[in-house]
Amino acid sequence: MNSEAIVKETRAYHCLECGVCTSSCPVARVNPSFSPRLLVEKALFGFGDEIVRDRDLWSCLVCGRCTSRCPSNVDYLNFIKEMRIEASKLGEKGLFSHDGVMNTIMELQLTNLQQKRTFWIADDLEVADEGECFYFVGCLPYFDLVFGEGGYCDVGLKPTERARNTVRILNKMGIKPVVSNDERCCGHDLLWNGDLEGFRRLAELNLKTIKKSGARKVICLCPEGYVTLKRDYPLYLGEQDLEVVQLYQLLADKLKEGKLNFVENGSNNPVKVTFHDPCSLGRMAEIYEEPREILSAIPGIELVEMERNRADALCCGTSGWVNCSSCSKQIQTERLKEAEATGADILLTACPKCGIHLSCAKYNSDIKIEIKDITDLIVEKMV
């Protein structure tokens, strides 16, 4: 798509130059030279060639705050995505963090190498090779080996514990999910970093694996995986005969049906928790209330909201493992301080990546708040 087509496709010509996007943008707040409004304007005035060469194109976190607030309904997220796709055709790319290890891991999943990604399955978990429900694990096994304990960028996490948690919870709900060594990265990061072909190929391979297992339903914990399977697979590969659900949607239903139950609380001193809405779960998927419904059903905890919550939530500061900068650290630190200001003991995340980014920023700081995943609490308290 040339820049003129992108302007049309994303309704950028509706832009009023109001600057709401720039004033909503977390990057622009800490780096005043970054201006989403200016990027749109450049495209409008026919300077698309400049945008695709601009380093700033890769500074956007694709957090979606601008898109959700634009009074003119400009589809800013897709504007960035399409521009990046054009830019990568010219060989441009963002600056990869961790020497680009995550990107290479994604690209290696485009090959026919036989992965052993299910190493995390513990003895107490019930999984299947074939069945009705497919648990799409996503990159957790690789996060474990890069960011987990002993990994190259150890941020003191156990990412695959979230995968075990998910299976434990599903087993409790009577679901024995399919888990497969043939699953690939969902392709989210390749797509948003402009590698449309790589994304397509990963999507095709995943759909083949899911369908081969006989599954009609896919369950995702990772919100990015959820959005990608639910929204982008049909968008780029046509409608699929698959129901894609996010774990918290499923659990909110189970809660209403009385099938998700928690231990009675012994103490009357509740633990205060606050919840960080991931961009992909919130603004992209509009799943705001389900995690909160589950949390309020767990006895012994009290949910206190951060000032910016739900659609106003602040991004965790990095996306797609590119352009992690001093801006990212500032955004993350700001978010952690916001969480501490609520008086909460625990900051809950619902996205493994947010967990990694926020833990990284917490490292070497005097911020004390504990970071946990919602599934950690559910597994602790469910009966």
Contacts with another protein, residue ranges (CB under 8 A): 98-101, 104-105, 107-117, 119, 141-142, 145-146, 150-152
328: its two tokens:
């990212």
Interface positions, 35-64, toward ligand SF4 (CB under 6 A):
36-37, 40, 60-64
Q: What is the DSSP string of 25-94?
A: -HHHHH-TT--HHHHHHHHHTT-HHHHHH-GGGGT-----HHHHH-TT---HHHHHHHHHHHHHHTT---
> Strands 271-276 and 243-246: what pairing?
unpaired
Contact in structure between 336 and 362 (CB atoms under 8 Å)? yes
**Per CB under 6 A, which region of 14-22, 159-167, 217-225, 252-260 contacts ligand SF4?**
14-22
- Work out whether 24 is an interface residue with ligand SF4 (CB under 6 A): yes
Minimum CB–partner distance for residue 151 and another protein (Å): 5
DSSP bridge pairs for 370: 346
Half-sphere CA count of 54, side-chain side, radius 13 A = 22
Interface positions, 95-114, toward ligand SF4 (CB under 6 A):
none
Enumerate helices (H) and strands (E) in the chain, giving the number of each: 19, 7
Residue 25: contacted member of ligand SF4, another protein, none (CB under 5 to 8 Å, by partner type): ligand SF4
112: its two tokens:
């026919």
- Work out whether 335 is an interface residue with ligand SF4 (CB under 6 A): no
Which of 16/235 has CB closer to ligand SF4? 16
Minimum CB–partner distance for residue 91 and ligand SF4 (Å): 22
- Work out whether 18 is an interface residue with ligand SF4 (CB under 6 A): yes
DSSP bridge pairs for 135: 219
Token pair 């695709």 in the structure block, residue: 52
Minimum CB–partner distance for residue 353 and ligand SF4 (Å): 15
Which of 63/196 has CB closer to ligand SF4? 63
**Per CB under 6 A, which region of 15-23, 94-102, 218-226, 242-250 contacts ligand SF4?**
15-23
DSSP bridge pairs for 178: 128, 134
Residue 151: contacted member of ligand SF4, another protein, none (CB under 5 to 8 Å, by partner type): another protein
First to last CA, the chain: 53
Minimum CB–partner distance for residue 36 and another protein (Å): 31
Q: Which helix (H) or strand (E) holds 9?
A: helix 3-9
Residues near ligand SF4 (CB under 6 A): 15-21, 24-27, 36-37, 40, 60-66, 70-72, 74, 76
